[in-house]
DNA sequence: TAAGTGAGTGTAACCGTGAACATCTTAATG
DNA sequence: CATTAAGATGTTCACGGTTACACTCACTTA
């Protein structure tokens, strides 16, 4: 069972392989009748083009690289799947999606122009910058999603986590809260730093209170939220509201309250971030912040698509606004 | 800025490109001193091999395809990410992972021997069978994960969902429950059918009761669990225990109970399936079933790795046993 | 009627790498 | 010192496509 190549077809059709190549690429140089015959033959023989050969001569790979900061923690699986899904739907046909983590590829250092035709970097951390720099140097069409980056020669779609944190904390302030705790995310993540900054600023601007013993470091997983909350509740006094910087940690935090006999939100309020798909079904329903992930991914992929056909395209930047989602996990203290 | 090829290096080193090729592939035919010099030069020039050329002559693609039944529903994102992560860790270096859905590829029909060096099919549904058949026909090294398939010429790693369902329902029976409802998953999913079968068998074998109005169809998303539960609670009488066939739907179901004034598990018990990462932090903690996902993925990827180096390897089959996870969402009616 | 035109097809080179085979060096052997 | 074997390197071709250029042939056109 030999592989079918354009030469196999050429032989059968009594033409040169060049004609076959042209026919299959719908070149205007070939007579319509010839095209038809050749296409039919290709179909019958089950011809599939060899992308290595094609790529070799055309200097492309038919691969779009999708790179995540880190596959182990922090990147929400659902976000990842979202990116893949959208990318598949919006990218021109013929491209495959190749997945890897920035981390592992920075190490091996083998990312080059002819390995990928383009790249989507879903970045969480400033640590990715050298990697991004490398891609740009190699003139790889690229978009950076999720995190706002400083350089202006790259298309970049992100959400304003700082603003999201401010919005939700100001809401808590409006509900009468004055004493706040926080369960932070991994320090290397820009999102975590931004949310923290929003927290700090709202506290300061409103003369609210926070204390070191009300602040704990988590890692975006439920376990860490649970543990952090237990620690905080061990303090002599407790705040009235806790900002868990993502919904997974908020879930763990709620559980910790339950275990120690605190009712949420009656005894203590908890706010989350990200509006996970199950957050509105928790007990209590989580008050949280929704990032416009869909539009980010969608616009990002569209930008890359355009970039692929027009490498000289001016970079597009967009910082999308998060939405406050008010549900039941924050108590109204004014009543 | 020309691309660096082995000929560029050859010129600089005053050797032929063949020698460079051999040196970089660590052939014993080349003197140690020459190798060293060439490697140094390659490094300095930032040489990256052209995989298209390499693949063209070696008849490979350096790509492992990871195929999911359907990216939109049913495949839990965390499972997908798990597969990717493991595959990256266990596959030999040099391979990239390419992601796609069975659905979209069956349509285009362009999966061929020289597009992928191997494939991991994460299958949910019997609908994938023709696709799997195609891959096998094209002699592509392949493993099928997640679902048990009938043919014996393919390595296959799955979990016994039927047994998992039996285990957890028998536990509920032991706790004194006799009236059961069920919220099923997407009908096309084998996992959903198996869990359903386990449910039916336990009911029958133990002379327990279920009724049409206690049975609803969901789609594995929280929303559907919520809706299904509301429906069930609308019946004149209600069962004492509901089997939500995954944890996401169980989460929605718990919420529905809450909204309608039923306490879980005091008034009604709910059991889940899958043991999601947040399930042990819910209120109440979910009693559920854990699939040994890790070992499945790990062994599956190992099998593929072996298959890549030895295409004649005998197929490996394994059906892993799920574990019952008892927590707080089932009431002990015997007390 | 010879030359020009353009549509349709073929020839040959090329993309970057690996490998069969040829060639050249060097050391070992009698 | 001539002969040989082994070691090191070079030459050439192949992989399966695309493309610049050459060619054929029928049809215009002056």
What DSSP line would sit under B16-64, residue for residue?
A: -HHHHHHHHTT-TTS-HHHHHHHHHHHHHHT----HHHHHHHHT--SEE
What's the confidence (pLDDT) of residue B109?
Answer: 58
Superfamily of domain A161-291: Response regulator (3.40.50.2300)
Q: Which nucleotide is nearest to A29 (CA to C1')?
A: C8
A84–B104: do the CB atoms touch at under 8 Å?
no
Parallel, antiparallel or unpaired: strands B118-122 and B179-184: unpaired
How buried is residue B290: exposed, middle or buried, by Cβ count under 10 Å (0-12/13-18/19+)?
middle
What's the confidence (pLDDT) of residue B84?
Answer: 87
Straight-line distance from the first to the last Cα atom of chain A, in angstroms, rounded to the nearest whole number: 80
What's the confidence (pLDDT) of residue B10?
Answer: 95
Give me the phi and psi of B277, to 5 degrees please: -65, -20
- Residues in chain B predicted with pLDDT less than 50, given as ranges, are none
List the alpha helices (DSSP H) in chain A: 6-13, 17-24, 32-45, 51-58, 77-90, 102-108, 129-137, 161-174, 190-205, 222-233, 247-259, 293-309
What's the confidence (pLDDT) of residue B107?
Answer: 61
Cβ-based contacts (< 7 Å) between B 181-220 and strand D: none
Q: Residue B205's CB: how many other CB atoms inside 10 A?
A: 12
Residues in chain A closer than 8 A to B61 (CB atoms)? 51-52
If DSSP codes are grouped into helix, strand and coil, which group holds residue A310? coil
Topology of domain A6-49, CATH: 434 Repressor (Amino-terminal Domain) (1.10.260)
Give me the phi and psi of A250, to 5 degrees please: -60, -40
Q: Residue B320's CB: how many other CB atoms inside 10 A?
A: 17
What's the confidence (pLDDT) of residue B253?
Answer: 98
Residue A199 to residue A161: CA distance in whole angstroms = 11
Q: Distance from B69 to chain A by nearest Cα, in Å?
A: 13
Nearest partner of A214 among A173, A268, A285, judged by Cα: A268
What's the confidence (pLDDT) of residue B110?
Answer: 65
B104–A93: do the CB atoms touch at under 8 Å?
no
Sequential DSSP letters for A15-48: S-HHHHHHHHTT-TTS-HHHHHHHHHHHHHHT--
Contact A290, A140 (CB under 8 A): no
Contact A63, A19 (CB under 8 A): no
Local structure of residue A189 (DSSP, 8 states):
B
B52–A52: do the CB atoms touch at under 8 Å?
yes
What's the confidence (pLDDT) of residue A109?
Answer: 59
Could you give the percent of chain B with pLDDT greater than 90? Answer: 78
Parallel, antiparallel or unpaired: strands B179-184 and B155-159: unpaired
Straight-line distance from the first to the last Cα atom of chain B, in angstroms, rounded to the nearest whole number: 80
Give me the phi and psi of B81, to 5 degrees please: -65, -35
Series of mean pLDDT values for 10-residue runs along chain A (335 residues): 87 95 94 94 93 95 90 70 85 89 70 84 91 89 93 95 98 98 92 96 98 96 96 96 96 97 97 94 96 90 93 93 98 92
Residue A183 to residue B105: CA distance in whole angstroms = 43
Number of Cβ pairs closer than 8 Å across A and B? 138
- CATH number assigned to the domain with residue range A63-159+293-321, chosen from the 4 options 3.40.50.10320, 2.60.120.620, 3.30.930.10, 3.40.50.2300: 3.40.50.2300
Edge to edge, the sheet with strand A96-101 lists A317-320, A155-159, A142-146, A118-122, A63-68, A96-101, B96-101, B63-68, B118-122, B142-146, B155-159, B317-320
* Distance in angstroms: CA B36, C1' C25: 20
Cβ-based contacts (< 7 Å) between A 52-111 and strand D: 53-54, 56-58
Contact B175, B334 (CB under 8 A): yes
Flag whether residue A113 sits within 8 Å of chain B, measured between CB atoms. Answer: yes
Q: Where along chain B do the CATH 3.40.50.2300 domains lie?
A: 63-159+293-321, 161-291
Contact A333, A93 (CB under 8 A): no
């Amino acid at each position: 069972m030999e592989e079918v190549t354009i030469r196999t077809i050429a032989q059968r059709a009594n033409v040169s392989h060049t004609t076959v190549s042209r026919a299959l690429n719908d070149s205007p140089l070939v007579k319509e009748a010839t095209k038809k015959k050749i296409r039919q033959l290709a179909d019958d023989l089950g011809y599939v083009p060899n992308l290595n050969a094609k790529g070799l001569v055309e200097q492309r790979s038919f691969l779009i690289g999708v790179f995540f900061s880190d596959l182990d923690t922090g990147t929400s699986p659902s976000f990842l799947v979202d990116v893949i899904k959208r990318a598949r739907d919006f990218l021109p046909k013929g491209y495959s999606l190749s997945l890897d983590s920035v981390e592992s590829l920075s190490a091996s250092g083998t990312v080059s122009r002819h390995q990928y035709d383009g790249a989507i970097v879903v970045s969480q951390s400033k640590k990715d910058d050298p990697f991004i720099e490398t891609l740009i140097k190699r003139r790889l069409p690229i978009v950076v999603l999720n995190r706002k980056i400083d350089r202006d020669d790259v298309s970049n779609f992100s959400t304003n986590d700082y603003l999201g944190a401010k919005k939700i904390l100001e809401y808590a302030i409006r509900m009468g809260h004055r004493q706040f705790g926080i369960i932070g995310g991994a320090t290397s993540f820009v999102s975590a730093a931004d949310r923290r900054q929003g927290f700090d600023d709202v506290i300061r601007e409103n003369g609210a209170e926070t204390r070191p013993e009300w602040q704990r470091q988590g890692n975006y997983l439920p376990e860490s939220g649970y543990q952090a909350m237990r620690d905080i509740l061990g303090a002599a006094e407790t705040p009235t509201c806790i900002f868990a910087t993502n919904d997974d940690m908020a879930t763990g935090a709620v559980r910790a309250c339950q275990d120690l006999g605190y009712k949420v939100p009656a005894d203590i309020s908890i706010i989350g971030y990200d509006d996970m798909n199950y957050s509105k079904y928790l007990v209590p329903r989580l008050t949280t912040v929704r990032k416009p992930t869909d539009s980010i991914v969608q616009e990002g992929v569209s930008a890359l698509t355009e970039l692929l056909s027009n490498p000289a395209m001016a970079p597009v930047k967009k910082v999308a606004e998060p939405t406050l989602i008010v549900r039941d996990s924050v108590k109204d203290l004014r009543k």
